[in-house]
């Protein structure tokens, strides 16, 4: 379909803004479920919606898309957001990839409305503790233990902070019998002996199997689910399972129970592998 400048101007004038009505939602949802979105700018034309394509896309991604979780964030999700924000900053879309069913917009809003304040409070408490320690008046016991416990500086957060220095919480890694795969984007390459896996999954598989269970590996940047055509089914053939281990080791976190085939690069995600067992 070709639009003349006049057509485009007319379309622009017609575009509705503001909240979506249930009727608009229904039209958009049923159309996309039936035909897929294709080119977003053609969606309003095909559905008769007086919205621009961008607005349709946003509505679909943030609200209508199947599989979205609604409602409160769990403690685990909060911890994940805080931890990942420490590492990734305001990369909401990347953070959202770690939280299946949550959108970047939802996480961003949650951060601005709640978590940011919580972090600020945590910093404030820490500053107080530091001051008191510096002054030789260690009165930490006066601080609420529960308030400290609820901060991200326990559990996973601490471990990620450790990663910046020593990369691995050695005590924990020694205690853990599981083999580990560390990913390049989070970690400095020169601090590890890099195993070149060449982006080949069979190779990765062989390397993994050939090592003792306590060895760590660093997956190189060429490991890409798309370019190397590693499908979800193939992932399931592996003699490992992906586990959510973030709170245990601080090393990794990923996809409990499933592998997200939509992610571009596995190496952007840290995760830990354990020996495979049938669930």
Partner DNA sequence: AAAGAGCACAACCGCACCCGA
Partner DNA sequence: TTCGGGTGCGGTTGTGCTCTT
Among the listed residues 239, 279, 242, 240, the one whose alpha carbon sits nearest the alpha carbon of residue 261: 242
Give the tokens for residue 71.
Answer: 């409602």
Shortest spacing between CB 80 and DNA, in angstroms: 16
Contact call for residue 109 and DNA (CB under 7 A): yes
Write out the binding residues for DNA, residues 25-64 only, by CB under 7 A: 37-42, 51, 53-55, 57-59, 62-63
Residue 226 binding DNA, by CB under 7 A = no
Instruction: Restricting to residues 1-30, name those near DNA by CB under 7 A.
Output: 16-20
Considering only 10, 14, 114, 202, the residue that binds DNA (CB under 7 A) is 114
Cα 83 from Cα 91, distance rounded (Å): 12
Closest by Cα among 257, 193, 187, 268 to 223: 268
249 backbone dihedrals φ, ψ, rounded to 5°: -110, -20
CB nearer to DNA: give 32 or 178: 32
Q: How far is CA 77 from CA 50, 93, 136, 163, in A?
A: 36, 15, 37, 21
Q: How far is the CB of 9 from DNA (least distance, A)?
A: 12
Spatial separation of the C-alpha atoms in residues 43 and 65, rounded to whole Å:
15
Q: Is 119 in the site for DNA (CB under 7 A)?
A: no
User: Which x/- pattern over 89-108 shows residues binding DNA (rule: CB under 7 A)?
Assistant: -xxxxx---------xxx-x
For residues 258 to 277, the per-residue mask of contacts with DNA, x marking binding by CB under 7 A and - elsewhere, is --------------------
By beta-carbon proximity to DNA, the closer residue of 105 and 162 is: 105
Question: Residue 268 CB, nearest distance to DNA (Å)?
Answer: 11
- Closer CB to DNA, 62 or 162, in the complex: 62
Question: 53 near 28, Cβ under 8 Å?
Answer: no
Tokens of 271: 């995760």
> Least Å distance between CB 137 and DNA?
31
Minimal distance, residue 94 CB to DNA, in Å: 6
The Cα–Cα gap between 7 and 2 comes to 9
The angle subtended at Cα 85 by Cα 174 and Cα 56, nearest 5°, is 130
Give the nearer residue to DNA in terms of CB position, either 40 or 192. Answer: 40
Rounded distance, CA 169 to CA 158, Å? 9
Q: Given the rule CB under 7 A, which residues bind DNA?
A: 16-20, 37-42, 51, 53-55, 57-59, 62-63, 90-94, 104-106, 108-110, 112-114
């Amino acid at each position: 379909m070709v639009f003349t400048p006049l057509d485009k101007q007319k379309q622009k004038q017609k575009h509705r803004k503001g909240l979506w009505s249930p009727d608009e939602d229904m039209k958009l949802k049923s159309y996309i479920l039936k035909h897929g979105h294709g080119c977003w700018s053609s969606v309003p034309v095909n559905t008769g919606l007086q919205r621009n394509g961008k607005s349709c896309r946003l509505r679909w991604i943030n609200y209508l898309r199947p599989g979205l979780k609604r409602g409160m964030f769990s403690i685990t999700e909060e911890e994940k957001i805080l931890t990942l924000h420490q590492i990734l900053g305001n990369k909401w879309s990347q953070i959202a990839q770690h939280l299946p069913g949550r959108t970047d917009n939802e996480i961003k809003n949650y951060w601005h409305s709640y978590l940011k304040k919580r972090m600020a409070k945590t910093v404030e408490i820490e500053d107080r503790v530091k001051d008191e320690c510096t002054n030789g008046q260690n009165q930490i016991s006066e601080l609420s233990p529960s308030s400290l416990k609820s901060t991200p500086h326990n559990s996973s957060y601490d471990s990620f902070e450790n990663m910046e220095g020593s990369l691995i919480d050695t005590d924990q890694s020694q205690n853990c019998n599981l083999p580990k795969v560390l990913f390049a984007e989070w970690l400095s390459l020169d601090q590890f002996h890099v195993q070149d896996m060449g982006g080949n999954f069979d190779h990765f598989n062989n390397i993994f199997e050939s090592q003792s269970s306590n060895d760590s590996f660093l997956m190189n940047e060429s490991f890409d689910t798309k370019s190397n055509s590693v499908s979800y089914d193939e992932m399931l053939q592996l003699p490992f399972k992906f586990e959510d281990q973030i709170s245990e080791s601080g090393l990794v976190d990923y996809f409990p129970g499933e592998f997200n085939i939509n992610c571009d690069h596995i190496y952007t995600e840290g995760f830990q592998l354990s020996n495979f067992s049938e669930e």
